[in-house]
Amino acid sequence: MARECWVDLSHGRTRYFESGDGPPVLLLHGAGITEGGDSWAWNWDAIGKVGRVIAPDFLGWGPGDRFDREYSFAYLTDFVRELQDALGISKSHVIGHSMGGWVAALFAYESPNRVEKLVLVANGGMAARTLPGLAHFRPPSLDDLETLWARRLPQGRGDPRRLAIRDLAKVTPQAVAAYEKILRHMNDPAHRERYLLFRRLPHIQAPTLILWGRQDSVNALELGEEEARLLPHARLVVLEGGHGLPIEQPETFNRLVCDFLTAE
């Protein structure tokens, strides 16, 4: 079971979850307002058998201190560097889902000496268009969250209502205010265009595993195929499922990731 931990960074206290021992493995979550380090609860124990898992709440997410500025891609990427520094990590594996995959790839491009292996899951940095759910954001209701969890969870795995109640507690006025700052930056077409990954991917040298859901309705599979063509040391694995593979297909996801991280 992962331990809830805290670290002091330049913006204040940040929460992260830690499990296992060995080579450090950073897990970077997606962009939904209720996302956070705990989004990896279906994965951290399994991956913790092959490394020291560290699953932070991104700058602007979770119960930690907020940042009284616009949350840019540059800030989010530098957050990963600062977290490594604060935890005494010079180099790590990095696994990112959706927005976390976008930040992970930016990080690998900017700081190649800090990345051992890279896992990109339904990477959000391949799509120029803004997602409708982000462009027209409204705070979710309990019913919205229950519907989301019912769609995500494998049959008979977890209680959508209980998880929805847990997540609704994250939707505080402070969280909404921070999230709106994040969305203002991410929804700006000029920002999205500037930070798209196409020109950066050919320069990333880290061995990379790309995981994509065949039925992903958020980021189409064609984007994953293009990502695999652009990355020089990448392998694409397509799974049956949608956008949330770490939760939808936890056993398969965990096995593929552990095999990749431990391969010579």
42-67 residue pLDDT tens: 999 999 999 999 999 999 999 999 88
CA 160 to chain centroid, in Å, comes to 21
Taking only the tens of pLDDT, the chain with its 264 residues reads 899 999 999 999 999 999 999 999 999 999 999 999 999 999 999 999 999 999 999 999 999 998 877 788 999 999 999 999 999 999 999 999 999 999 999 999 999 999 999 999 999 999 877 766 666 789 999 999 999 999 888 876 789 999 999 999 999 999 999 998 888 888 888 888 899 999 999 999 999 999 999 999 888 999 999 999 999 999 999 999 999 999 999 999 999 999 999 998
Report the 10 Å Cβ neighbour count for 45.
15
Give the chain's length.
Answer: 264
Q: Is there a contact between 73 and 96 (Cβ–Cβ < 8 Å)?
A: no
> Tens of pLDDT along 127-154?
877 766 666 789 999 999 999 999 888 8
Q: Which amino acid is at 91?
A: K
Order the strands of the 12-19 sheet from edge to edge: 3-9, 12-19, 52-56, 24-28, 92-97, 115-121, 208-213, 234-239
pLDDT at 82: 98
Task: Please name which of 129, 85, 87, 123 lies closest in space to residue 106, comparing C-alpha atoms.
Answer: 123
Q: Which amino acid is at 207?
A: P
pLDDT at 237: 98
Q: Is there a contact between 52 and 46 (Cβ–Cβ < 8 Å)?
A: no
Alpha carbons 120 and 40: distance in angstroms, whole number: 14
Boundaries of every domain in the chain: 3-262
Residue 116: strand, helix, or coil = strand
pLDDT at 227: 97
The CA-CA-CA angle for residues 256, 116, 228, to 5°, reads 55
Alpha carbons 56 and 44: distance in angstroms, whole number: 12
Domain 3-262 of CATH type 3.40.50.1820: yes
List, as own/partner pairs, every contact residues 160-169 make where C-beta atoms lie below 8 angstroms and the sequence separation is at least 24, other chains included: 167/34, 167/140, 168/34, 168/140, 168/141, 168/142
The partner residues of 56 in beta bridges, in order of sequence, read 16
pLDDT at 134: 62
